[in-house]
Amino acid sequence: MGLFNIFSREKKERLDQGLEKTKSNIFTRISKAVAGKSTVDDEVLDSLEEILVTSDVGVATTLRIIERIQKRATKDKYLGTSELNKLLKEEIVALLQENNLQDFTEFSVPGDKKPYVILVVGVNGVGKTTTIGKLAYQFKKSGKSVLIGAADTFRAAAVEQITIWADRVGFPIINQGMGADPASVAFDTVKSAIARDMEVVIIDTAGRLHNKINLMNELSKIRKVIQKLIPDAPHEVLLILDASTGQNAFEQAKQFTAATEVNALALTKLDGTAKGGVVIGISDQFKIPVKYIGVGEGLEDLQVFNRVEFVDSLFN
Amino acid sequence: MFEGLSDKLDRAFKVLKGHGHITEINVADTLKDVRKALLDADVSFKIAKQFTDQVKEKALGQNVLTAVSPGQLMVKIVHDELAGLMGGEKADLLIKGDPAIILIAGLQGSGKTTFSAKLANYLKAKKGKKPLLVACDVYRPAAIEQLKVLGQQIDVEVYSEDSANDPVKIAKRSISHAKENGHNIVIVDTAGRLSIDEQMMDEISNIKSALNPQETLFVVDSMTGQDAVNTAKAFNDRLDFEGVVLTKLDGDTRGGAALSIKSVVNKPIKFVGLGEKMEAIDIFYPERMADRILGMGDIVSLVEKAQEQFDEEEAQKLQKRIARNQFDFNDFLAQIKQIKKMGNVKDLLGMIPGMGKAVRNLDIDDNAFKGIEAIIHSMTPEERVNPAVMNGNRRKRIAAGSGTTIQDVNRLIKQFDDTRKMMKMVTANKGKNMANVMRNMKNMN
Ligand SMILES: Nc1nc2c(ncn2[C@@H]2O[C@H](COP(=O)(O)OP(=O)(O)O)[C@@H](O)[C@H]2O)c(=O)[nH]1
Ligand SMILES: Nc1nc2c(ncn2[C@@H]2O[C@H](COP(=O)(O)OP(=O)(O)O)[C@@H](O)[C@H]2O)c(=O)[nH]1
Ligand SMILES: [Mg+2]
Ligand SMILES: [Mg+2]
């Protein structure tokens, strides 16, 4: 870590700050659970269970983690506080690594896709529009040209909201006003990006609950329409999840994937008291990488997700 | 999807069967399942534990040889306890004062602005009030514009100040504006904030002190997980709010956060949000929420739905015909109509506790009735009343007439015979439970 450049150390500090609450909470509780003990007994495992479940990891994943710890603990006889912390961290990282997810290190898009099309989806109020604003800011900062499609034509003042972000960051948007057909906006945006030789396209969509079939079909339609222009687009379908969401996030991941072939996740609002353990659970069950995390409402408050750093921040 | 609790209890009930009393040992597994179901529904870890302890206490020593089965008894205890915890008496909005002031608070994206407008619409339409909406979110891009658009949709005035950036001042001035313009209710929409954001929490408590609202409502997303307790407690510590609004219940979340919040702050849930439209607002029904959390299906709506469609007179006639063994294909057709009127058959059956699994494994679809109806329509009046006359030739004719195969016709006639037998059983067993009927039905194939 010591040789990391200043920029990434800064990044890490922000993440640490965002996760401070979680960290100290879990840390002190584990420490309490193992204080004065040299083995992993039922009481310790019960505490671990509580810690993981209260972090929204979910019962099923928690049981898997506990099982692993139990197995390890029967091998390694003597355990103190620090060993247990290390063991727990290792097991969670290992669980995530089993899914062979690649790690992302920076805000970048593959150079061979031009324009690189990102479709942003998710339930209501999770932070789609805000994440798009922050993401566009990052791409712009790294010198990429970005065009945004205002395809949330439903929620009151949604177009105005993304327009304000556009002014703030300085990116152009394509909009057809409220009530327009979102697929048509998406089509227009991609078409225009091709004509203008833009590098990145991000399509904002209206929030929708995953159990509403018509609205999910609308997303599939947006996807199809984009493919008329670029057969292998959208290259990235980014599902936004709110860190405070509980077990329903699993159903969201499932249904949005069924409708739009989600291939990346962003987890927002990790700057709150929500533990973010939902990432562990979802990464365990879906082979979709978590790409970004949101840690605030400002321009800079988006980070590239790094599994090891994430678990580190949780337990170190 | 999560396995419904009622399914689990059905399983547990096999374990419990044969024991005369509910004891520590035979109840342990059931309680484990109850606890897991609660956690899967996002009920807070601590509260799930407390709750199962409570249920255990109630259940222990209860005699299960009485009228109901052990499974049903457990379902009842769990359900009653939960419904009790969820709320008891109805909690109405306190709309006194001139103007009455309602302050809206909560996390980012929970649905505050949408709910503010819905509430204004509700009070205007249902209570004949003249509300004023106040835009105090000066942070989120286009938040004021959003409220303005909604206000226009419902034809309610929105107070906002384009150049001011102090929500406390805006809120104060809005009250004078309301007084001057004869608004008798003021609904103040505020920015989303994290409970650990000291500055923003100070701001909202300053708004509260400045306005002294009759009602402060905490708006929370029903999909919230374990964090619900922390957030609700933190907001309540600062605001001592009067009630909770549970949004986005039109999704498929089990909504355990409702129980956690209720238990932690002991404030009533006053409204629920059921969609993005301005009309998608309802008061809160504790019983229904209890069923939802437990994954037991919405028994109440089943009963209501059935009552809506149920024709008492017809039913009595039918009952008599069954008793006299006069049930015929005309009645069968009428029954199908009745069922179709009630909506999707599978959904409907799924609402009955304990039926969840049975129905899931059955392959019922509404179109299944199409063939049946066609076959019955191809029967002569005589054949409908007296099915015994349908020999091979007649069956062939019916198949041709209805565009089905002779196997389809045979199967229907067998189904009809089975149904007739089952109906006799139901009338004979009056008072016995549904599960028995289902079991007997299965054994008939
Ligand atoms: N604290 C915090 N708030 C966020 C974050 N991301 C989004 N928000 C807020 O969540 C609310 C909903 O965001 P928005 O982008 O409009 O959600 P959308 O409906 O999914 O487009 C807004 O108030 C945002 O400022 C985040 O990472 N942290
Ligand atoms: N499906 C559904 N969406 C809702 C409900 N209430 C609010 N929303 C949506 O949730 C998102 C956030 O709502 P908003 O009122 O802007 O939240 P705020 O940030 O708390 O003011 C918007 O897309 C709303 O349309 C609800 O009850 N059901
Ligand atoms: Mg949006
Ligand atoms: Mg708002």
Query: B328-352: per-residue pLDDT in tens?
Result: 888 878 777 766 665 555 555 554 4
Query: B205-239: per-residue pLDDT in tens?
Result: 999 999 999 999 999 999 999 999 999 999 999 99
How large is the average pLDDT for residues B267-279?
A: 94
Tell me the β-bridge partners of A147.
A201
Lowest mean pLDDT segment, chosen from A131-145, B277-291, B310-324, B353-367: B353-367
- B386 compared with A188, residue with greater pLDDT: A188
- pLDDT grade, residue B118 (50/70/90)? very high
Q: Which residues contact B370 (CB under 8 A, 6 or more apart)?
A: none
* Structure confidence at residue B340 (pLDDT): 64
Which residue ranges does chain A devote to CATH 3.40.50.300? 116-308
Q: Do B227 and A50 touch (CB under 8 A)?
A: no
Would you say the CB of residue B197 lies under 6 angstroms from ligand 1? no
* Structure confidence at residue B163 (pLDDT): 86
List CB contacts (< 8 A) between A123 and chain B.
223, 248, 251
Would you say the CB of residue B355 lies under 6 angstroms from ligand 2? no
Would you say the CB of residue B276 lies under 6 angstroms from ligand 2? yes
CA distances from A137 to A10, A142, A290, B395, B435 (A): 18, 9, 19, 73, 60
Q: What is the third-level CATH fold of A6-97? A: Four Helix Bundle (Hemerythrin (Met), subunit A) (1.20.120)
List CB contacts (< 8 A) between A156 and chain B.
145-147, 149-150, 153
Nearest-by-CA chain A residue for B141:
A161
* Structure confidence at residue A171 (pLDDT): 96
Q: Give the B window 170-229 contacts with A, CB below 8 Å.
A: 194-196, 221, 223-228
Nearest-by-CA chain A residue for B274:
A209
CA distances from A143 to A119, A137, A138, A192 (A): 21, 10, 9, 19
* Structure confidence at residue B95 (pLDDT): 84
* Structure confidence at residue B436 (pLDDT): 41
Query: B251-262: per-residue pLDDT in tens?
Result: 999 999 999 999
* Structure confidence at residue B61 (pLDDT): 66
Nearest-by-CA chain A residue for B36:
A59
Best CATH choice for the domain B100-291 from the list 1.10.340.30, 3.40.250.10, 1.20.1260.10, 3.40.50.300: 3.40.50.300
* Structure confidence at residue B367 (pLDDT): 62
Would you say the CB of residue B114 lies under 6 angstroms from ligand 2? yes
CATH of segment(s) B5-86: 1.20.120.140
Which residue ranges does chain A devote to CATH 1.20.120.140? 6-97
| A113, A194 Cβ separation under 8 angstroms | no
CA–CA dist B57, B50 (Å, integer): 11
Q: Per-residue confidence of chain A (316 residues) as pLDDT tens digits?
A: 222 223 333 444 544 454 444 445 555 666 666 555 556 677 777 878 888 898 898 998 888 888 888 787 777 665 666 777 777 778 877 776 655 456 677 888 888 999 999 999 999 999 999 999 999 999 999 999 999 999 999 999 999 999 999 999 999 999 999 999 999 999 999 999 999 999 999 999 999 999 999 999 999 999 999 999 999 999 999 999 999 999 999 999 999 999 999 999 999 999 988 877 877 878 777 888 889 999 999 999 999 987 777 776 565 4
Q: Which atom of ligand 1 is nearest to the CA of A294?
A: 27
Q: Do A160 and B141 touch (CB under 8 A)?
A: yes
List CB contacts (< 8 A) between A278 and chain B.
225
Query: B128-178: per-residue pLDDT in tens?
Result: 999 999 999 999 999 999 999 999 999 999 999 988 899 999 999 999 999
Minimal CA separation from B4 to chain A, in Å: 14
Query: B369-379: per-residue pLDDT in tens?
Result: 778 888 998 99
Residue of B108, B197, B219, B220 to mutate, ligand 1, most atoms within 8 A of C-beta: B108
Q: Which CATH architecture has domain B301-443?
A: Orthogonal Bundle (1.10)
Q: Domain residue spans in chain B?
A: 5-86, 100-291, 301-443
Minimal CA separation from A246 to chain B, in Å: 3
* Structure confidence at residue B42 (pLDDT): 94
Nearest-by-CA chain A residue for B234:
A273
As for the ipTM of the complex, it is: 0.88
CA–CA dist B423, B66 (Å, integer): 26
DSSP for B274-321 reads -SSSTT-EEE--HHHHHHHHHT---HHHHHHHHHHH--HHHHHHHHHH
Query: B11-52: per-residue pLDDT in tens?
Result: 554 545 445 556 666 677 778 878 888 898 999 999 999 998
Among residues A104, A159, A95, A85, the alpha carbon closest in space to that of A129 is found at A159
Query: What type of residue is B41?
Result: A
Q: What is the third-level CATH fold of A116-308? A: Rossmann fold (3.40.50)
Count CA atoms closer than 13 A to A177's CA, side-chain side.
1
Among residues A220, A230, A280, A231, the alpha carbon closest in space to that of A255 is found at A220
